Amino acid sequence: MAKTSRFKSGLISSLIPFGFNVERWGYVIHRVTGVILIGYLAAHLFETFQLSMGPGAWANTMSALHSLGPLEMVGLWLVAGSALYHGANGIRLVLNEVFGILMGKPIMPVYPYSPTSLGRNQKLAVWTITAVVLVLWLWAGLYLLAGLGVI
C-alpha cells in the first residue's frame, strides 16, 4: 500500500492554522514578517549601495522608486508594520525562551485543563503587543500619508 508523504498533510495546516491557539497565529505572522524584513534589508542595502556608483546611478534608483507612486508608501508601511510586530513579538519570545517567564510553573493538572504556558500572563503579553503594534502602525500610516500630501 502506498504511504502518503508524512509532510504533505502537515504543510497546509502549518501555514494556515485554523482553529488553533492565538500564539500559533502569532508564530505564522512572525515568520511572514521575518521574510518581509529580510527582503527589505536586501533591497535597502542594494538601494544605498547605488550611492557609491555615482550621482547618475543614484538618480536612476530614486526615479525608479518614485515611479511606483503611492505603492512606494504602501510598501514602506508594510515594512514598518513588519518591523514593529517582529520586534515586539520578538521581545515576548525572548522572555519565553531565554528567561522562561510568562509560561508559568509546573503545576498539578486539574480538570478542566488549561495549560499555564497559554494562560493569563501569556495572553496578556500577546494582546498588549498586538494593541501597541496596531496603534504605532496606524500612526506610521498617518505619517506616511502626510508625507504623500494627502493629509
Partner 1 sequence: MALDKLVLEVLRSGGKKARYELKFRKGMTVLDALVEVRERQDPSLAYRHSCRMGICGSCGMNIQGIPRLACQTQVSSLGKDVVKVEPLHGMSVIKDLVVDIDPFLSMHTFVKPYLIREDLAERDGSDREYRVLSDEVARFLQFDYCIMCALCYSACPTVALDPDYLGPQAMAQAYRYMADPRDEGWDARINLLDRAHGVWRCHVAGSCSFVCPKDVDPAKAIQMARVEVLKKRVLRRTAKAGSPLVNPAPAGAAKQGTRAPPFDFKEGGRG
Partner 2 sequence: MVEVIDHDVVIVGSGLAGLRTAAEVMSAPRGKAPTLGLVSKLALMRSHSVAAEGGTAAVLYPELGDSLELHAWDTIKGSDFLADQDSVWKFVTLCPDEMRQLERWGMPWSRKEDGRIAQRPFGGHSYDRATFAQDKVGFFEMRTLYDKLQEFDGWSRYEEAFVTSLVIQDGTFRGCTAIDMKSGRFVFFRSRACVIATGGAGQLWKFTATSVSTTGDGIWLAYQAGLPIEDMEFMQFHPTGLIPTGILITEGARGEGGHLLNSKGERFMERYAPSKMELSPRDVVSRSIMKEIAEGRGLKDEDSGLSYVHLDLRHLGREKIDSKLPFIKELSMKFVGLDPVDEPIPIKPTAHYTMGGIPVDDNGRVIGGGSREVKGLWAAGETACVSIHGANRLGSNSTAECLVYGRVVGKDIVRFLASEADAAEGASSMVAEEETRVFDGLLKNESSDDDVYAIKARLKEVMDKSVYVFREEAGLAEAVREVKALKEKFKGVRATDGGRQFNYNLQDVLEVGGMLELAEVVARGALNRTESRGGHSRLDYPQRDDANWLKHTLASRTDGGPRFSSVPVRITMWKPVERKY
For 68, phi and psi rounded to 5 degrees? -70, -20
Q: At closest approach, how far in Å is the CB of 2 from partner 2? A: 11
Task: Tell me how far apart the alpha carbons of residues 107 and 46 are, in angstroms, rounded to a whole number.
Answer: 52
Alpha helices for 18-119 (secondary structure H): 22-49, 55-66, 70-98
Report whether the peptide linkage leading into residue 109 is cis, meaning its omega lies within 30 degrees of zero.
Answer: no
Residue 109 binding partner 2, by CB under 8 A: yes
Q: At closest approach, how far in Å is the CB of 146 from partner 1? A: 37
Tell me which of 2, 45, 98, 110 binds partner 2, using CB under 8 A. 110
87 binds, among partner 2, partner 1, none (CB under 5 to 8 A by kind): none
Residue 14 binding partner 1, by CB under 8 A: yes
Q: Are 151 and 142 in contact (CB under 8 A)?
A: yes
Write the binding mask 93 to 132 for partner 1: x where contact by CB under 8 A, - elsewhere: x--xxxxx--xx-xxxx---xxxxxx---x----------
Write the binding mask 38 to 57 for partner 1: x where contact by CB under 8 A, - elsewhere: --------------------
Query: Which amino acid does the sequence have at 125?
Result: A
